[in-house]
Amino acid sequence: MRYISTRGRAPALDFADVVLTGLASDGGLYIPEVWPQISGEALGKLQGCSYSEVARAVLAPFVGESFGEAELSGCIDRAYADFGHRLVAPLTQYGPDDWLLELWHGPTLAFKDVAMRLLAQLMDRILAKRGGRATIVGATSGDTGSAAIDAFRGLAAVDVFILYPHGRVSEVQRRQMTTVADANVHTIAVEGTFDDCQALVKAMFADVAFNETMRLSAVNSINWARIMAQTVYYFTSALALGAPDRQVGFTVPTGNFGDIFAGYVAKRMGLPVGELVIATNVNDILDRTLRSGRYAMSGVVPSISPSMDIEISSNFERLLFEVLDRQAPDLQRLMDGLKQSGAFTLSERALGRIRHDFASARSDEAETRAMIAEMHKMTGRLVDPHTAVGLVAAGKVQRRQSGPMVVLATAHAAKFPDAVQAATGIRPELPQRLADLLDRPERINCLPNELKAVEPFIAQHARVNQGGR
Ligand SMILES: *Cc1c(COP(=O)(O)O)cnc(C)c1O
C-alpha cells in the first residue's frame, strides 16, 4: 500500500515510512492511495471472531509489504494484552436500539490507548528492523499524552516528549503523565492552550534542521497508524450488532476528528455504517461547519470535556480531501484561507457530500452534566463527560435510518472525577491498578509558549543526541 499527502507535494510513502513520518513534508496528512475493500462475504466470515482476528483482517491491506502476517499478529497481541477486558472494546446496551462501545479498558482509561498501544508496537518493530532511534514529540489535551507515555515507556529505540496546556488538563490526566519514572519519557507543561501546544509541535516538525537531528516522529492523531487502528472497533461492534446484514450508526465525541474519521474509513472499506454523528461540546466549530458550510474559528473555551476543547480539527483535512475528489490544490486553497483569515467556506457540493455521511449535534455544559446524572439515574452507570456529550448528541439528531446507534464511550468516569461527582454526588473510583496514582511523586517541567524554550529542552534530554543506543 502506498500513501499520498493531502497537499499533493510530498513524496508517496509506504506504510513503515508513513508511521515514522507522521505529518507529510508539505504540511499535509497521509492517506492511502486507494481504500482497501472488504466484501460482504468476507465480513460474514469475521462474525464471532476475536478482536485480534478482526484486527488482522482489517489492518493487513494497510500495512502491505511492511509487515509479515506473523509480525503484524505479534504487534496486535502485544498491544492488547494489558487491556482490562478480554473483548478489548465491549458493547453494553442502554436502550432498545442504543448501545455504548466501551473504549476505556486500556491502561490509561481512555480510547486513545487502543490506537497508541498498537502504534508503539508497530514503531518499535520498524525501528528495530532499521536499527535507528526516534524522538516522539506530541501535543495533548490530556488523553493522548498519557496514552503515548504508557505505550512507549521503556522502549529502547524511542524517546517521548509530550506538550500539554498547563492547568488545562485534569489532575488524573496530568498525574498519569508526570508520575511515570521511565528515563525515555518527558512531559512539558506549556503556558498556553492545546492549540498552542499543537502549533509548537507543528513548528518543530517544520524546523528542518531540528527535525532531522532529532529524528522527530509524531504520534498525535494525524499519524495514519492511529486512524487505522481505530477502524477495527467499528468493525467488531458492527459485526456484533448484525453487520453485514444490518446498518449500524455511530455517534462519536469529537475533537481532532481522528476517531470519527476512522468510522468513515470503515464505511469506505465496505462496512455498512449508517450515519456518523459528530458530537461536539461548546467548542462546536464542526457542528457549525455542518450547519453553515463555513469553518470559522472563534476561540476555544475550557469545558468539562477537555479532550474535545479544540478548534483546529486536524483530521478534518482528510475528509475534505475526500469530498474535494482528492484535488490537493483545492484543499490547499481552503487551508490557506484558514491560515490567513481563520476561516474557509465549503462549496455546496463538498458540503452536500459531508452531510451525506455525517450529521452533527452539540452539547452545552448544562446538558452534559444533566446527561451524566440521567444515565446514572436510569441505568446506575457512571459515564465520563466526553461520553455524555456523545449521549446528548445521539439523543438530539434526527435519525435517518432505524437500527442500532452506537455511542463511543471514550473515557472511564474516574478520569474526570470532579465533573462526575458534581453531576451525580458520587465520586467514581479508579480501577485497582491506578489506585495509588494520587500518591505517586510527579515530575513537572513548565516552559513558556515559545519554540526557543521548548526546542533546547528536547535537544538536551533526547538520547538521539547522546550517541548510539
Ligand atoms: C481524544 C478524545 C476525544 C476526541 O477524539 P478525536 O479523535 O480527537 O476526535 C474524545 N473523548 C476523549 C475521552 C478523548 O480522549
329-368: per-residue pLDDT in tens? 999 999 999 999 999 999 999 999 999 999 999 999 999 9
What's the rounded mean pLDDT across residues 94-99?
96
Residue-wise DSSP of 146-174: HHHHHHHTT-TTEEEEEEEETT-S-HHHH
% of the chain beyond a pLDDT of 70:
99
Give the pLDDT of residue 465. 64
> Which atom of ligand 1 has the smallest separation from the CA of 384?
13
Q: What is the pLDDT of residues 18-29, one digit of tens each?
A: 998 878 889 899
Give the pLDDT of residue 220. 75
Full set of structural domains in the chain with CATH: 91-109+224-424 (3.40.50.1100)
Expressed in angstroms and rounded, the spacing between residue 326 Cα and the centre of ligand 1 is 26
Q: What is the pLDDT of residues 441-464, one digit of tens each?
A: 999 999 999 999 999 999 999 988
Please state the φ and ψ torsions of residue 193, each to the nearest 5 degrees. -95, 175
Expressed in angstroms and rounded, the spacing between residue 140 Cα and the centre of ligand 1 is 10
Whether pLDDT at 1 is above 90: yes
> 3-class DSSP state for residue 319?
helix
Give the pLDDT band of residue 466 (cuts 50, 70, 90): low
The reply to whether ligand 1 has any atom less than 6 angstroms from the CB of 223 is no
Instruction: Give the Å distances, CA to CA, from 153 to 64, 183, 223, 402, 426.
Output: 27, 8, 19, 44, 33
Expressed in angstroms and rounded, the spacing between residue 313 Cα and the centre of ligand 1 is 11
| CA–CA–CA angle 106, 390, 324 (5° rounding) | 95
Find how far residue 105's CA is from the centre of its chain.
Answer: 15
Give the pLDDT of residue 219. 82
Give the pLDDT of residue 170. 84
The reply to whether ligand 1 has any atom less than 6 angstroms from the CB of 259 is yes
What's the rounded mean pLDDT across residues 275-295?
97
Q: What is the pLDDT of residues 155-205, one digit of tens each?
A: 888 999 999 999 988 888 899 999 999 999 999 999 999 889 989 998 998
User: What is the Cα–Cα distance from 46 to 55, expressed in whole angstroms?
Assistant: 10
Give the pLDDT of residue 469. 39
Whether pLDDT at 76 is above 90: yes
Under a CB-based contact definition with an 8 Å cutoff, are residues 461 and 183 in contact? Answer: no
Q: Rounded to the nearest 10 degrees, what angle do helices 112-130 and 69-80 cross at? A: 140
Strands of the sheet with 158-165, listed across from one edge: 216-217, 134-139, 158-165, 185-190, 446-447
Strands of the sheet with 2-5, listed across from one edge: 13-14, 2-5, 30-32
* Residue of 228, 252, 254 with the most ligand 1 atoms within 8 Å of its CB, for mutation: 254
Give the pLDDT of residue 156. 85
Expressed in angstroms and rounded, the spacing between residue 256 Cα and the centre of ligand 1 is 7
* Residue of 261, 308, 310 with the most ligand 1 atoms within 8 Å of its CB, for mutation: 308
**Among all chains, which residue has been given the C-alpha cell 503484524?**
72
Give the pLDDT band of residue 141 (cuts 50, 70, 90): confident
User: What is the Cα–Cα distance from 18 to 344, expressed in whole angstroms?
Assistant: 28
Atom 2, ligand 1: residue with shortest CA distance: 307
Atom 14, ligand 1: residue with shortest CA distance: 307
The reply to whether ligand 1 has any atom less than 6 angstroms from the CB of 308 is yes
Whether pLDDT at 468 is above 50: no
Give the pLDDT of residue 222. 87
Give the pLDDT of residue 25. 84
Kindly report which listed range (80-84, 114-118, 217-221) carries the lowest average pLDDT score: 217-221
> Which atom of ligand 1 has the smallest separation from the CA of 415?
13
Give the pLDDT of residue 97. 95
Q: Provide the total of helices (H) and of strands (E) in the chain, helices listed first.
A: 19, 16
Expressed in angstroms and rounded, the spacing between residue 227 Cα and the centre of ligand 1 is 12
Nearest to 222 by CA among 194, 247, 191, 257: 257
Q: What is the pLDDT of residues 320-335, one digit of tens each?
A: 999 999 999 999 999 9
The reply to whether ligand 1 has any atom less than 6 angstroms from the CB of 255 is yes
The reply to whether ligand 1 has any atom less than 6 angstroms from the CB of 145 is no
Extract the C-alpha cell encoding 434.
491506578
CB atoms within 10 A of CB 243: 26
User: What is the Cα–Cα distance from 302 to 313, expressed in whole angstroms?
Assistant: 16
Expressed in angstroms and rounded, the spacing between residue 308 Cα and the centre of ligand 1 is 6
Whether pLDDT at 245 is above 90: yes
* Residue of 386, 387, 392 with the most ligand 1 atoms within 8 Å of its CB, for mutation: 386
> How high is the mean pLDDT of the chain?
94
The reply to whether ligand 1 has any atom less than 6 angstroms from the CB of 362 is no
**Annotated active-site positions, please?**
112
